[in-house]
């Protein structure tokens, strides 16, 4: 544990870097879904197929690896920094769980679109795109201000 304590700031830096990657992917994937769904509605099958490919690459190259590293590094920081008893961390973890669920929902919706299933209209899909921004803002306040 002493080795990790000595590397605490490096772990923080890595955690923040992968949070940025994950958030970028969470902003991109729902926008991809909007474009994908619009291609399906317009009957542009070739364009829709390209969106399936783009979504898959985004998931496998950025989103999923970043999600895994965010969780591993975050849990390491909570343990090394002995933050488990702090209320702000519990609230932050609740919002990170929300974002992880959102990640899972977006991946699932991409897979449904790949099968041609559209459950949301374009307006709702665009509104859902705001979830990561709102949750991210709350997480940043909790992590840096530590209000409780």
Nearest-10 crossing angle of helices 45-57, 8-41: 170
First to last CA, the chain: 26
Which residue shows structure tokens 């530590």?
Answer: 146
Annotated binding residue 92: yes
Burial of 132 (0-12, 13-18, 19+ CB in 10 A): buried
What whole-number distance in Å separates Cα of residue 15 and Cα of residue 74?
A: 6
Annotated binding residue 15: yes
Are the C-beta atoms of residues 49 and 104 closer than 8 Å to each other?
Answer: no
Are the C-beta atoms of residues 113 and 34 closer than 8 Å to each other?
Answer: no
**Known binding site: residues?**
15, 92
**Feature table: binding site for heme:** 15, 92
């Amino acid at each position: 544990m002493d080795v990790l304590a000595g590397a605490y700031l490096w772990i923080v830096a890595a955690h923040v870097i992968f949070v940025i990657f994950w958030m970028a992917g969470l902003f991109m994937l729902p926008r991809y879904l909007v474009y994908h769904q619009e291609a399906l509605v317009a009957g542009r099958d070739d364009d829709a197929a390209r969106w399936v490919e783009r979504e898959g690459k985004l998931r496998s190259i950025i989103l999923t690896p970043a999600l895994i590293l965010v969780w591993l590094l975050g849990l390491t920081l909570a343990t090394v920094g002995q933050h488990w008893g702090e209320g702000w961390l519990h609230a932050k973890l609740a919002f990170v769980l929300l974002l992880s669920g959102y990640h899972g929902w977006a991946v699932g919706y991409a897979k449904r679109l790949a099968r041609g299933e559209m459950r949301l209209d374009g307006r709702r899909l665009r509104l859902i795109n705001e979830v990561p921004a709102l949750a991210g803002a709350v997480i940043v306040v909790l992590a840096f201000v530590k209000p409780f």
